[in-house]
Amino acid sequence: MVFIVVLIASFLLQMVLPWWIIVPVSFITCCLIGKTPKKSIWEPFLAIFILWTGVALSYSLQNQHILADRVAEMFGLQTWWLILFVTALTGGFIVAISGICGYKFRKTILAKKHVSHSSVNN
Amino acid sequence: MRNKFKAAIYLVIPIMLAYLLNTKFGSVPPILKFLNPFTGFWKNSVAIKQPKKSKLVLRNTKETVEIAFDDRMIPHIFAQNDHDAYYAQGYVTARDRLWQMDFQTRYAAGRLSEVVGVKALELDRYQRRMGMVYGAENSLKGMMENPKSREMIMAYTAGINDYIHSLNAGTLPVEYKILDFKPEDWTPLKCALLLKQMSAVLAMGSDEFYMTNILQKFGSAVTADLFPDYPFREDPIIPVGTKWDFKPLQVPSAPEANAVIQTSQIKTKQLEEGIGSNNWAVSGAKTASGNPILANDPHLNLTLPSIWYQIQLHAPGMNSYGVSLPGAPGIIIGFNEHIAWGVTNVAADVLDFYQVKFKDDTHSQYQYNNGWKNTTSRLEKIKIRGERTETDTVIYTHHGPVVYFKKPENLKMANNVPMGSALRWIAHDRSNELMTFYYLNRGKNYQDYRKALTFYTAPAQNFVFASATDDIAITANGKFPLKWKNQGKFILDGSNPADDWKGWIPAAQNPTVKNPGRNFVSSANQSSTAPDYPYYINWEFAPYERGKRINDRLTSMQNITVDSMRIMQSDSYSIFAENILPALIKAVDPAKLNATQKEALQVMNRWNKSYEADAIAPSIFELWTKRLFFNIWDDDFTIENIPMRYPSRDRTVELILKDPGSKWFDNVRTPEKETLPDLVFEALTYTCDSLERKYGPIGKGWKWANVKGTHVPHLANIPGFGSETLWNGGGKSTINALSESNGPSWRMVVELGKKAPVAKGVYPGGQSGNPGSPFYRDMIGTWTKGELYDLYLMNSPQDERAKVLNHLTIKKK
């Protein structure tokens, strides 16, 4: 579920907002519906990895990777698909961190509530 | 409490990460801002397949404009009035080259620190202190005064700005994303700055600091002997014997010798032979078709995106094709149905330094004409990315700005600036070069050409000309100060009114020749005239070898065609080698040589004196002579704290050929007495050793193209955005004056006549400035091979001679 939400929300929001909107998207999604820590890492990671790979390819294929090859060289990489991999990996990495933080955020808030609740009971 | 803290941490981590990956550190672009496929560089990957027809609505046009982009994406603009032609030129130039235009004008204006940070500060100060902005502001006044040039510049600016306003974060040119800044609105001042930058590239040469030091070190006899006022060998642009059919103005007389004292802490640099352009025109008497042919190849530092931008401008009264400078309206080098024109640089002395005596350390007054004169000051605010704005105060005298009081650290280009001296430079004056191109673009005949030239100030150029009616001409053209002989060869006295510039050579009296008896005109930056010209332009010009080769070839050629002119542009025969090699070979004692040196000598013996890519002889010759010149002059002219330069190549050749026993061959740093053969032998040993060390044993690795390593780097040296190493011949003293990354920035050959002009051309790059475009560097291969493309002067957007890839219609509504 996190996967689908992050994928669709990120795609739509990035049309009009800067790239970093994917960070709150992942955070909020995992905060609200992240089921386990593992899923809160992997699902946003895969969503952005796939989304960014897809969008980057849609531009780069039509360009026969002329620009991607040059940018790869700029970063000291051999070929276009390495820069594509770096792009998707870094994008995935930041939403994975953001996702797990969102999940943990909920847990600490809930734990806090739980603690204060039980203290009242005592 | 602990949980609150934890929760805050979980909130802060993603925010921090997002911030880090959205920020530029040093030269590393903001990683995810740059890499993300929605607004990052991926978005600049333009589709190779483009639609055949496209439309734009731009309300700042007056009427509908049609633009045909041909198979190299060269725009052919068809407008119904002048305004729309220049407006559309601005728009499409920005579409292809916005970042380049922005970067070059920031460079010119000393505003690089604003985008790249403190590392550019010293360079920015230099540009400001040389008066680049001051000069551009003055120039702009001249351009705005004339209603025609005003319309040009305003329409061009509006076109650029309408393109800039159409951009968003994703469509910004990729270099903005790498360097992480945004374009600001274009202004007319930026057009003026761009033209000033051309003056800085072509007319900022100044040896008077070095020459003054030499004069003080060696005295006037030696200085006159080693730095003569006219070369030993010359083949001037205006043929010897041309009559000057005007009554010259009275030239001011030279004051008593100046006694100006200089001190400094800078080391001397060996002069590198700079920019070497060629142009020529042959009359119908020498061509196969009976039509005149004009050729031009201006040489500049080669960069990507290309310095030039090809364009055709068609509007009522104008139908012109050629290359423009991105950032300036009109066509600089080109042709129309009636005329063709081209340029090479004139090394005129239009930049002088004046020693200034200030009353005190406040620099508020300086000595002039036995009294004190007030200075003015100009505050230069330099914004620095990530730091506080710096305000630099520049003191101005009536001569111009006092460039430096203190030598800047680590800025090589400032080495020839004497401390505490004021700069008098033609580029500071009010001018309006645009009108020259306005009239040339619309020119029909010789009279129009002559009229156009009168508007031109700087950088002075040899304007070559041919017309369909078979007139050919060349003029060393610019605004030249009326000087006494050698005024400005040495630093001038800023307190003496006699040392000021005293008026101008009348434009009509600039060196010119029309239809000379030899049926051709040519220039290659050499001396403008023989010594009988009544005015002083400079004491030294570029060495004569290229000009000599051009004139030799054109004299002997008959039945010339466009193709034989094309081949001549890639000619790499060295007159320098022809002149000096026999003497060098004679000076070598074969008995002393080892195996490699023997082979190298054999190679030199067999050499046809052409700088061919696959030959190894040019590599040996180039290093050998360079080292020999070093051996001859370094001991005398490299002295700590006294910046000087070497005598010219011409004078050195004369010494070797005419005076082999000269005292200058002795190395004064050793007790022994060295002779010319000793130096020649040491240089050969040095050459073979260093080639062996770098390229292996004598053979394939020593090939000229390999040793030279020509390539076209990106304007901001971004790795991956330049060209690979190119395999081509040519050398500095040959027509194809191509060195590591300096050479023919545009090659053009045009045949005019009763029928439509036949024109061909190429530059080492492409139309698009986007490294992701297939048109970014598509012409480099053709350029490397010395071939040219057909240039189409289209009659209408539907003209079928050109292969049109895209039709763009710009409508008002």
Handedness of CA B33, B122, B267, B633 (dihedral sign): positive
Task: Provide ipTM, 2 decimals.
Answer: 0.92
pLDDT tens, position by position, B571-606:
999 999 999 999 999 999 999 999 999 999 999 999
Contacts of B267 (CB under 8 A, 6+ apart): B638, B640, B643
pLDDT of residue B254: 84
Question: Does residue A62 form part of some domain?
Answer: yes
Rounded average pLDDT over B83-102? 98
pLDDT of residue B406: 87
Q: What is the pTM of this model?
A: 0.94
Question: Does residue A57 form part of some domain?
Answer: yes
Cβ(B812)–Cβ(B61) under 8 Å?
yes
Which residue, chain included where needed, has tokens 């955070």? A27
Residue of A nearest to B775 (CA): A66
The CB density around residue B369, as the number of other CB atoms within 10 Å, is 11
Cβ(B655)–Cβ(B675) under 8 Å?
no
Q: B35, B49, B773: best mutation site toward chain A, by most A Cβ within 10 Å?
A: B35
Q: What is each CA distance from B367 to B258, B371, B401, B469, in whole angstroms?
A: 15, 6, 15, 57
- The token duo for B803 is 């292969």
Rounded to the nearest angstrom, the minimum Cα separation between A109 and chain B is 7
DSSP state of B776: S
- The token duo for B748 is 């053009």
Query: Which residues in chain A have Cβ-Cβ distances shorter than 8 Å to B776?
Result: 66
B22 close contact with A: CB closer than 8 A: yes
Question: Does residue A100 form part of some domain?
Answer: yes
Residue B768: φ, ψ to 5°: -85, 140
Rounded average pLDDT over B343-359? 93
Buried b (16+ CB within 10 A) or exposed e, B587-598: bbeeeebeebbe
pLDDT tens, position by position, B661-713:
999 999 999 999 999 999 999 999 999 999 999 999 999 999 999 999 999 99
Q: Which domain holds residue A100?
A: 25-114
Q: Could you give the CA distance from residue B634 to residue B639 in angstroms, rounded to a whole number? A: 8
Rounded to the nearest angstrom, the minimum Cα separation between A83 and chain B is 9
Question: Does residue A87 form part of some domain?
Answer: yes
Rounded to the nearest angstrom, the minimum Cα separation between B175 and chain A is 11
B15 close contact with A: CB closer than 8 A: yes
pLDDT of residue B558: 95
pLDDT of residue A112: 62
Mean model confidence pLDDT for chain B: 93
Rounded to the nearest angstrom, the minimum Cα separation between A39 and chain B is 17
Q: Into which CATH architecture does domain B226-233+572-734 fall? A: Orthogonal Bundle (1.10)
Q: A70, A82, A83: best mutation site toward chain B, by most B Cβ within 10 Å?
A: A70
pLDDT tens, position by position, A83-110:
999 999 999 999 999 999 999 999 988 8
pLDDT of residue A120: 41
| Residue B257: pLDDT over 80 | no
Q: Three-state SS across B496-560?
A: CHHHCCCCECCHHHCCEEECCCCCEEEECCCCCCCCCCCCCCCCCCCCCHHHHHHHHHHHHCCCE
- The token duo for A11 is 């795609």
Which residues face B353 on adjacent strands? B423
| Residue B48: pLDDT over 50 | yes
| Residue B89: pLDDT over 60 | yes
Q: Could you give the CA distance from residue B798 to residue B781 in angstroms, rounded to a whole number? A: 29
pLDDT tens, position by position, B462-489:
999 999 999 999 999 999 999 999 999 9
The band of B205, judged by pLDDT with boundaries at 50, 70 and 90, is: confident
pLDDT over 70 percentage in chain B: 98
The band of A115, judged by pLDDT with boundaries at 50, 70 and 90, is: low
pLDDT of residue B267: 38
User: For chain B, which residues make up each domain, given as ranges?
Assistant: 226-233+572-734
Number of domains observed in the structure of chain A: 1
Segment holding A108, helix H or strand E:
helix A80-121
Q: Could you give the CA distance from residue B484 to residue B253 in angstroms, rounded to a whole number? A: 6
The band of B4, judged by pLDDT with boundaries at 50, 70 and 90, is: confident
Rounded average pLDDT over B326-340? 97
Residue of A nearest to B173 (CA): A67
* DSSP reduced 3-state for B191: helix
Query: Which residues in chain B have Cβ-Cβ distances shorter than 8 Å to A87?
Result: 35-37, 40, 42
| Residue B262: pLDDT over 70 | no
**Record: contact A101-B14, CB cut-off 8 A:** yes
- Lowest average pLDDT, out of B49-58, B154-163, B632-641, B770-779, goes to B632-641
**Record: contact B38-A14, CB cut-off 8 A:** yes
Question: DSSP string spanning B698-749?
Answer: SSGGG-HHHHH-----BTT--TTSS---------TTSSS---SSEEES-EEE
pLDDT tens, position by position, A24-65:
999 999 999 989 999 999 999 999 999 999 999 999 999 999
B169 close contact with A: CB closer than 8 A: yes
| Residue B271: pLDDT over 50 | no
Residue B396: φ, ψ to 5°: -115, 135
**Pick from A15, A23, A59: which is nearest to B45 by CB?**
A59
